[in-house]
Chain A
Amino acid sequence: MDILISDGKIVEKVDERKAKVIDASGMTVMPGGVDIHSHIAGAEVNAGRLLRPEDHVKDVEAKTALTRSGVGHSVPSTFTTGYRYSRMGYTTVMNPSMPPLEARHTHEELNDIPMIDKATFPLLGDWWFVLEHLRDNQIEKCAAHVAWMMHATKGYAIKIVNPGGLEAWGFGKNVESIDDSVPHFNITPREIIRGLCKVNKALNLPHTIHVHTNNLGKPGNYTTALETMKCVEDLAEEDSPVMHITHCQFSAFKGSDWRTMRSGAEEIAKYVNRHTHITLDLGQVVFTDTTTMTADGPFQYGLYGLTGNKWVNHDVETETSSGIVPFKYRRTSHVNATQWSIGLELALLVEDPWRIYLTTDHPNGAPFTTYPQIISWLMSAVAREKTLKRINKRARRNSLLSSIDREYSFYETAIVTRAGQAKALSLRQKGHLSPGADADIAVYDLNPQELNPSKDYKALIQAFSKAAYTIKGGEIVVQAGEIVRSVRGRTFWVDTELSSPPEPSTELKRKFREYWTVEYENYPLPEEYLKAASPITVKARV
C-alpha cells in the first residue's frame, strides 16, 4: 500500500515520476504521534528548569549543524523537547496546564519548540469569574466569559485542576470531596465540573473538559475519581465523551493510608467499560528521577512534606496555583511500585483503546522519553513480568498484572499513542493516514509480520525510541533517529463564534483593575504574538 503526500497533506494522487519515494516495506507506518497531556512549556516548566541544575548536568545535547544545544532529563529545554518528540515519531503535543496570566510566557515557549504542532489548555476551574457565574447558575454568561478567555489566552480546551481546591489553597485549605464547599464562593467542585461541562458543550469546543480530579495522589481517592465521572453522566449525549480524566493513575489509589495503599484500577476500569462518556489518559509512572509539577498547589505541598525535597509553590492571583517538587520513583518503594502497576492495570483493563491514552503526565510520572519503554510493557507480558519481578514485594503481591494476559496489538498501540488522542481532541487532520490528513507520519523499523512483540520487546523499545522516518507536514524531519531538518510547528487555538460577540462587562474591567496585577487592556494575547498560529473556528450553540 502506498501513502501519497503533496503540499503537506495526504492525497489520493500524485505525479509518480516526479515524486520522491521512501521505501518503507517491512516497516511499521503510523500517523505521527499525538500526546494529549505533556507539560512542555510555561512558567511552571521554566521554574522547574531553574529548580533543577542537577537534572541538566546529567543530560546534555551538543549543538549540531541543524539543531541547537540543550539540557535536561526531566524538564528539557524548549528546542530539545521538540527534537526528542520528533525522534520518537511524535508530531503533535498538548501542553495541558497554563495559568491564564502566564499565557504570554507559555506561548513564547511554544513558539520556541520546533518540530511539533501544539496547543495549550488554560486553567479555568478556579478562575474567580467562572466560579461566580457558576455559583449564580449563569451558564450562558459563563460560556461567553470562557469564549473570551480562550480568545485572550489563545487556548484550546478547558483545563480543570482540583476544582475548588486551588481557590481554597489560597486560604491554606483544600477540598476533600466533590461536595465540599469552596471558601468565600459557596460553590462545590461538583457544581464547577458540571457547570464547565455544560459550558464546554454550549461552546462546542473540540476537546471535552480536561479534568485533574480532587484528592489527587491520596490513598482512597479512587472513590473521588468515580464520583467525578458519575457527576456528568447525565450530560452525555449518545456515545460521545464529555469528560477527560487526565493522569488517571494518580487518581486510582485505594486504601486508607500510605501503608495500606493499593490499586483501584479495577473499579475505575469497570466503570469506564460500562460508560461511554469518559476518556482517560494514563499518567504512567516509570522508575526514574523526575520533576513533578502541577497546578495542584496543595498536592505539591503534601508531596514536599512526604519527601522533604526542595519545593516551589505559587499562588497565581485570582486564577489558580502551582507547585513543583523533584521526585524519584523507586522500584523498591511500595507506593511507587503500586503506582507503576496501577497505570499498566488501567491500560490493560480498559477494553476500548479509543478511550485510554498513553501518557506519563510528563514530567510527573516520568519524562516523555520513556514512552517506548511503556509501549513494551503494554505489548509484552514478558516485559511486564520482568519488571514485576524486581519491584517491591508487597506491591508485587497486590498487583493484578500477573493475572492479566492482554497484550496490545500494533493497532491498539497506534490508537493509544495517536489515533485515540487525535479523536479526543477532535484534531480531524491528525491521527490517521487517509487522504485529507496532515502528512504527519512516523515510520518505525519494525516488521509487524515477522516480529513477535511479546518476546522481542527490546526491539520495540529500540524502534519506538528512534523513528526510521518522521515526516512533519510532508517534510522528512527525522531519519534513522536523527534530526535532518528543523521545522516550526503550528500552535492551534480555538476561536469561538458566539451568536452575539462577547462584550466585556464593566464589572470585569473593574475587577481587573482591582484584583489583577495585569490591566484588562494588556491581558489578551494578540494573535501576532504566536509565531505560527492556526486558529480553529467553532460555532457555539449560544
Chain B
Amino acid sequence: MITLTPRQLFTVPIDAECISPNIFAEKTASEIAHLPVWEGNRQKTLGELFKMTHQKAPAENPTIRISGDVGKVRRIGAKMASGKIIVEGNAGMHLGEEMRGGTINVTGNVGSWAGCMMKNGTIEVMGSAGDYIGAAYRGSTLGMKGGTITIRGDAGNEVGCFMRKGLIRIHGNAGQFAGIHMKNGAIHIKGNSEGRLGAQMLGGKIVLCGHIPSVLPTFTIEDVKPNVKIDGERIEGPFYMFLGDLAENGNGRLYLSQKQNTHLETYETLL
C-alpha cells in the first residue's frame, strides 16, 4: 500500500493522470515521486505535491491510499485496469475516467464526470457526486460500457449520458436528465429524480424508487409491474413501466415507483 498525503490544501486544479495502480506498479518510491503532474499551467512532480509513505515493497497491483482532501485533483485512476484506490476525503473531476478494471473507493464527495467512458471495474462513493456520472466525453456517443458505479449520496445532472452497458446506483437523489441518450445498461435511483428521466434514450432501463415531477411526453405507459430485477437483485414495487423515448424510436424502459408517484395515476386509464 502506498499512502499519498497532500502537502497543502490545493487551490488550483491538478491533473494527476498518473495516480493509478498500473502506473505505480513495479516502480520504486523515487520513480513514483518523479511522475509528472500539472498544477494549473505548471508542471510539477507527484513528490512535490504529495507526501508518500510506502507500507511495503513495490507490488504488481499496489493499493493507493490518498489521505486528505483532493477535491481539486482530476483524473485519479484514469485508465486503471486493476488494483485499488482509496480516497479518504473528496476527489476531483474525471475520477476513474476510461477505467478498465479495479476498484476506487471514495469516502467523501466526487466532482463531475466520475467513471466517464469507463469499461469495467467498480467505483463507490460514500458522499455525493457531480454531473455526468458514467457519461461520454463531450460530443462523443461512447459512454460507460461496463462496470458498476455506486453513489451513496446524491448525484447531479445527466447521470449515465450515452451509457452503453453496466450499472449505476444512486442511493440519494438524482438531478435532471438521468439516462439521457442511454443505449443499454441500468440506472437505479433510490431517491427522487428532478425529472426528464431517460430523454432520448434508445434502450436500457431506469428504476426510480422515489418521486418524479413528470414523465416526458414521448414516453408511453406499458404496464404496472409488482417488482423489477436489476443485476440479479429484486426490487419490490409496484412500478409504472414506461416505454420510450418514442421521439428517437427508442425501446428504453422507465420503472417509476407507484407509491411515490400518485400524481401519475391518470396514466393508468391508458392501460
- Interface residues of A, Cβ cutoff 8 Å to B: 51-55, 57, 309-310
Query: Can you name the residue of chain B whose Cβ is closest to the Cβ of A56?
Result: B139
Contact of B140 with A by CB under 8 A: yes
Q: Could you say which interface size class chain B belongs to?
A: under 10
Query: Can you name the residue of chain B whose Cβ is closest to the Cβ of A326?
Result: B139
What separation, in Å, do the CA atoms of A55 and B141 have in the docked complex?
Answer: 12
What separation, in Å, do the CA atoms of A57 and B139 have in the docked complex?
Answer: 10
CB-defined contacts of B137 to chain A, threshold 8 Å: 53-54, 57
CB-defined contacts of A54 to chain B, threshold 8 Å: 136-140
CB-defined contacts of B138 to chain A, threshold 8 Å: 53-54
Encode contact with A along B80-114: 1 for CB under 8 Å, 0 otherwise: 00000000000000000000000000000000000
Query: Can you name the residue of chain B whose Cβ is closest to the Cβ of A50?
Result: B139
What separation, in Å, do the CA atoms of A57 and B97 have in the docked complex?
Answer: 13
What separation, in Å, do the CA atoms of A309 and B139 have in the docked complex?
Answer: 11
Interface centre among B138, B139, B140, B141 (most CB of A within 10 A): B139
What separation, in Å, do the CA atoms of A57 and B137 have in the docked complex?
Answer: 9
What separation, in Å, do the CA atoms of A45 and B140 have in the docked complex?
Answer: 18
CB-defined contacts of A52 to chain B, threshold 8 Å: 139
- Interface residues of B, Cβ cutoff 8 Å to A: 136-141
CB-defined contacts of A309 to chain B, threshold 8 Å: 141
A-B contact pairs, 15 of them (CB 8 A): A51-B139, A52-B139, A53-B137, A53-B138, A53-B139, A53-B140, A54-B136, A54-B137, A54-B138, A54-B139, A54-B140, A55-B139, A57-B137, A309-B141, A310-B139
What separation, in Å, do the CA atoms of A541 and B56 have in the docked complex?
Answer: 87
Known: A53-B137, A53-B139, A54-B139. 12 other contacts (CB 8 A): A51-B139, A52-B139, A53-B138, A53-B140, A54-B136, A54-B137, A54-B138, A54-B140, A55-B139, A57-B137, A309-B141, A310-B139
Task: Name the distance in Å between A364's Cβ and chain B's nearest Cβ.
Answer: 19
Query: Can you name the residue of chain A whose Cβ is closest to the Cβ of B248?
Result: A308
What separation, in Å, do the CA atoms of A272 and B183 have in the docked complex?
Answer: 47
What separation, in Å, do the CA atoms of A53 and B141 have in the docked complex?
Answer: 11
Task: Name the distance in Å between B183's Cβ and chain A's nearest Cβ.
Answer: 11
What separation, in Å, do the CA atoms of A54 and B141 have in the docked complex?
Answer: 9
What separation, in Å, do the CA atoms of A523 and B242 have in the docked complex?
Answer: 55
Task: Name the distance in Å between A191's Cβ and chain B's nearest Cβ.
Answer: 41
Task: Name the distance in Å between A181's Cβ and chain B's nearest Cβ.
Answer: 35
What separation, in Å, do the CA atoms of A522 and B257 have in the docked complex?
Answer: 62
Task: Name the distance in Å between A54's Cβ and chain B's nearest Cβ.
Answer: 4
What separation, in Å, do the CA atoms of A55 and B142 have in the docked complex?
Answer: 12
CB-defined contacts of B139 to chain A, threshold 8 Å: 51-55, 310
Task: Name the distance in Å between B116's Cβ and chain A's nearest Cβ.
Answer: 12
7 shortest A-B CB distances, which residue pairs?
A54-B140, A53-B139, A54-B139, A53-B138, A54-B137, A52-B139, A57-B137
What separation, in Å, do the CA atoms of A310 and B138 have in the docked complex?
Answer: 12
Query: Can you name the residue of chain A whose Cβ is closest to the Cβ of B141?
Result: A309
Task: Name the distance in Å between A204's Cβ and chain B's nearest Cβ.
Answer: 46
What separation, in Å, do the CA atoms of A52 and B139 have in the docked complex?
Answer: 6
Task: Name the distance in Å between B38's Cβ and chain A's nearest Cβ.
Answer: 12
CB-defined contacts of A53 to chain B, threshold 8 Å: 137-140
CB-defined contacts of B136 to chain A, threshold 8 Å: 54
Query: Can you name the residue of chain A whose Cβ is closest to the Cβ of B249?
Result: A308
What separation, in Å, do the CA atoms of A243 and B26 have in the docked complex?
Answer: 64
Task: Name the distance in Å between B190's Cβ and chain A's nearest Cβ.
Answer: 32
CB-defined contacts of A55 to chain B, threshold 8 Å: 139
Interface centre among B136, B137, B140 (most CB of A within 10 A): B140
Task: Name the distance in Å between B181's Cβ and chain A's nearest Cβ.
Answer: 11
What separation, in Å, do the CA atoms of A159 and B98 have in the docked complex?
Answer: 44
Task: Name the distance in Å between B140's Cβ and chain A's nearest Cβ.
Answer: 4
Task: Name the distance in Å between B63's Cβ and chain A's nearest Cβ.
Answer: 30
What separation, in Å, do the CA atoms of A414 and B136 have in the docked complex?
Answer: 43
What separation, in Å, do the CA atoms of A55 and B137 have in the docked complex?
Answer: 10
What separation, in Å, do the CA atoms of A287 and B138 have in the docked complex?
Answer: 23
What separation, in Å, do the CA atoms of A142 and B146 have in the docked complex?
Answer: 61
CB-defined contacts of A310 to chain B, threshold 8 Å: 139
What separation, in Å, do the CA atoms of A439 and B136 have in the docked complex?
Answer: 48
Task: Name the distance in Å between B84's Cβ and chain A's nearest Cβ.
Answer: 27
Task: Name the distance in Å between A67's Cβ and chain B's nearest Cβ.
Answer: 19
What separation, in Å, do the CA atoms of A495 and B228 have in the docked complex?
Answer: 73
Interface centre among A54, A57, A309 (most CB of B within 10 A): A54
